[in-house]
Chains A and B, each alone.
Chain A
Amino acid sequence: MTPIQQTEPRRIDPQLLASLQRGDEDAVEKLYAEFGGTVFGYLVKTLGDRGAAEDVQQQVFLEVWKRGASYDPQRAGLLTWIMQIARSRAIDQLRKRIPDPVDIDEQTPTDSTTADEFTSEMHDKWHIAHLLKQLPSEESDLLRARFYEGKSQSEIADETGVALGTVKMRMVSGLRRLRELIDSEPTHESTA
């Protein structure tokens, strides 16, 4: 996994923060709208069971609401904080049950990777997934074409009609911007 630098978490909307700390239900709904998809994707992949993921999803955001008053933006960005709650509840869920008899794919927990390690690895990957959504579309589309669809820069240029030099410039700027987002929203809470 990419080493993550510990830098200042990104700024959080002060009104949303105050609302969360007061325990307003509206705050949880806003957080759900922003982070619900990322958390759910992470839980489905980690638990390998969509039904269980739905239940844990509810637990996660209930806990977000319950613990909102104690959330400290100096220690972690909202994404980091919510994903760590999700990771904890996913681990709880995996520890509760017997080994899953469903053959999902090679990335599910195996004898050689503990459930905790797998859960952590997926946590970090979905954290990045959420940050990818925050890139400008021309950069996120480019990264998707390269890293999901496996296309070369020349293929991307041919298919999109964007000049090859521009594709390469955007590739670097997209990577840089994603790197900055990761640095500003580390995957783990600061212990300072």
Chain B
Amino acid sequence: MSDRQEQISDYLLGELDATARADFERAMSADASLAAEVRELSDLVTTLDSLPDEVWLPETPPPFSLAAARQLDASDETRPNTDRTQQPKKQGRLQKWFADSFAVKPAVAFAAVALFFVAGVGVGTLTGGSDDSSSPLTATIQQAQLSPVGVDDAAATGVADVKKDGSVIRLKVSGLNPTDDDKFYEAWLMDENNGLVAIGTFRVEENGEATLDLPVPVGTDAFPIVDISLQEVNGKPEHSGVSVLRGTLN
């Protein structure tokens, strides 16, 4: 029985040699129920083979607020429809609603630095906090060693590996201070003019470690600097100005 299961798996995944494949197909022709099951699973294998990579990289959704959604809904009803003449938005109105609703004066002197905010969407793909070295993605095509920026996280370190066709960054950090409920870390890509693109948010437990797969929405040649900031939960999507780790992709 187990041999038959293994043959089914090998057949479905194309791992039988020609002779074994012919034998298995003869067995299927003599067993209608086996043939039906293999056909059904074969359709599923085809579907799984066609899934885009993003399906396997779970998204962390933005925070949901029924009040915010209602307000956006109400504003839609009163706004003339001009979308046909607009370019796609780089910043969601949800973000703007949060920013407008939680107007907090910038508290960090770093804000004086003219950071050009390109697409500050403070949400990314979080795949879990465990070190997943047993299931690596494909080869690293660029890497950045991350070093501490300030004194608060002087023991922190990290590495950012650009994987696959440049569409994913695997970020591994350690030695970071654990985050309270009112703080979180955010990963950014930065260009040489301090233009920023947010690529994901995460929290750190007592062990100070996190491993994440983050989608890359821009070219890392143009945005080669990986920056990790400590953010406050205040509804403001901008970089807080408090960088804790930074490195440049080679």
Contact = CB atoms under 8 A, between A and B. Distances in A.
A81 interface: no
Interface stretch (B77-85, B169-177, B188-196, B238-246): B77-85
Contacts of B70: 62
Interface string A1-13: 1110000000000
Interface residue tally on B, bucketed by range? 35 or more
Interface in A155-174: 159-160, 165, 168-169, 171-172
Contacts of A107: 52
Contacts of B41: 172, 175-176, 179
Interface in B66-86: 66, 68-70, 72-73, 81, 83-86
Nearest to A179: B44
B2 A169 contact: yes
B45 A175 contact: yes
Interface stretch (B3-11, B17-25, B141-149, B154-162): B3-11
A91 B195 CA distance: 32
Contacts, number: 179
B88 A97 contact: yes
Contacts of A125: 47, 50-52, 55
B221 interface: no
Contact of A147 (B43, B48, B73, B86): B48
A165 B134 CA distance: 19
A132 to B, nearest CB: 8
Interface in A76-124: 96-98, 100-102, 105, 107, 122
Contacts of B2: 165, 169
Contacts of A102: 88
**Most B CB within 10 A of own CB, among A25, A53, A97, A175:** A175
Nearest to B97: A58
A55 interface: yes
A168 B134 contact: no
A58 B72 contact: yes
A3 B88 contact: no
The A interface is mostly helix, strand or loop, or mixed, namely: helix
Contact of B92 (A32, A37, A52): A52
A103 B64 CA distance: 29
Contacts of B111: none
Contacts of B62: 40, 54, 57
Nearest to B167: A105
Contacts of A59: 69, 72-73
Contact of A96 (B66, B81, B119): B81
Contact of B66 (A40, A62, A165): A62
Given A44-B54, A50-B123, A54-B92, 7 more contacts: A39-B61, A49-B89, A58-B64, A59-B72, A96-B81, A128-B48, A168-B9
Closest 8 CB pairs of A and B: A54-B92, A36-B61, A51-B92, A41-B59, A62-B69, A40-B61, A148-B56, A168-B9
17 contacts: A2-B43, A2-B47, A3-B43, A36-B61, A49-B90, A50-B92, A51-B90, A55-B72, A96-B83, A105-B167, A132-B55, A144-B56, A153-B9, A153-B13, A153-B15, A165-B2, A172-B5
Interface of B: 2, 5-6, 8-10, 12-13, 15, 40-41, 43-62, 64-66, 68-70, 72-73, 81, 83-95, 119, 121, 123, 134-138, 167, 217
